[in-house]
Structure 1
Amino acid sequence: MDVDVGIVAQRGNERAQQLTEALLDVLESDSVAVAVDEETGDAIDVVSVPVTEMADSDLVVSIGGDGTLLFVAREVGSTPILGVNLGEVGFLNAVSPADAVDVVTDLVDRLRRGDPLERRTLERLRARGDGWTLEPALNEIVVHGPRRGHGGGATIEIRVDGTRYADGHADGVLVATPTGSTAYNLSEGGPLVHPTADALVVTQMAAEDSMPPLVVDPGAELELAVTGAETAYAISDGRNRHQLESPATVSVSLAADPVTLVGPRTNFFDGLEKLE
């Protein structure tokens, strides 16, 4: 069968661009249809497409750090993604640059034969309110006051399946997936969650009268009710945000479209050793 591959390289990274060129040479010589993201295409002088158009590909290769893969996941939805790690920790990117060509060509051969790829799905979160919905978050949803620090928080009540868990003044509240437990959640004192765990974590941020971080079933309906501030924000993966006018309620639940990763798996515990 014909195979279409998309390649997205970390912006401004020469190593990522060079690896893109190496993959292009090998794949195109094997009659594979390859699409490259626009910025990389400009850098290496090849035809390119918007990343959103790679959603119809059989495989998208993300070359960079976890941030690059987060960007790719936002753009291509449930299309299978292979992460090549140019970062330090790389919880999402299991493939080293030295192994990238071999791993990609092996996956392409499997797709051509019609062999099933080993896939794993990563749940995403969706935040919504009165008339608005944020793009899905692979790491976390954060609701916080007008700014972090003294005088900048808000009163945020946390409700789980309609029952109050915590209520008080805080810089904000963070809801993380297992994938996101090693990111912002960890820096705010939340627990590490093994990537195979079926759970979400709710962590208060600099609360005046804090409760411990709470691990909940991923099917739980979470509501974050904001009062006591003129304005507040709901933010998805540190990128997409919606400004709130207090009082406001943000509902957080699993998104319908998880991210699909293929190829080798990362070693979670090896990654923890690289955390600062």
Structure 2
Amino acid sequence: DVKVRLSHRSPLLAFCDAIMASVGAVGCKPAGELSTECVECALNENRLDLLSHWISQDRLMLSRQIGDLISRHCGCKVPCKCGCQALAQNVYTKLHLHHQAIICLLKQGRVHAGIEYAKHKSPFTKEMYVEVLRMCPSLQLMHALVAADDQGSRPLPVGVVILTVLENNSFDLVLPFIQELQNRTADDDPNTSLFHDAVLDDMETSTDEWDSLVKILQDQGYEETATNVLSTITVMSAMKTVLYKSLADDRPDSAATQG
């Protein structure tokens, strides 16, 4: 998938390069349409090195379209190895298109950097996190999306992460994800798994959705994982029932009714 530099360049690319070389002398970048055409020409000839030089030397009139062209030129699976996503990220960052820059970071496999960028530069909604999970699913991203911060909040509920990835039947991601969470202990309780903690915090995934997940795992022959998930959600359901009953009993109107 890595783009190969051609040993020659076409007359059109030579013309584009001449335009770029003249920018420093005339002090004027080519207009948006011409800049875009030059980028397309460089991409068509797989000259990312030349394109990178133009961008770093500020020779182009950058636009969202140019960033999109570069990003779409990438044919890699996550993580990107051809350099297109890093180059597109550079364009988006210069244009303050933070959402697109974050997606490029994630496509490079730079999950931690992407999540931190999202927190500080362009806060994501849950819908946005689901979108990027669909676009560039990876085990690292799945773990990052269910990791609790200092306040105990998580970008996405664990059930949403699992069910989103399963939309494409990506059991190669879901199984190790669940198993790794089950095998890791919570920081505040060595007797509790991270999976148990994440499930307990998940207020969005319904019991029916958890049951459907268990059935999917069983149907695919993953009995042990299905049993472990079922055990966790059974405990979770019981704990939530007790908690809700306790909260209801503590309400003033409940006490008044009993009185």
Q: TM-score range by the shorter chain?
A: under 0.3
Question: TM-score, with normalisation over the residues of structure 1?
Answer: 0.25
Q: Higher relative CO (CA 8 A, sep ≥ 6), structure 1 or 2?
A: 1
Question: TM-score, with normalisation over the residues of structure 2?
Answer: 0.26
Computing the radius of gyration over CA atoms, which structure comes out larger, 1 or 2?
A: 2
Higher normalized strand content (fraction of residues): 1
Higher normalized helix content (fraction of residues): 2
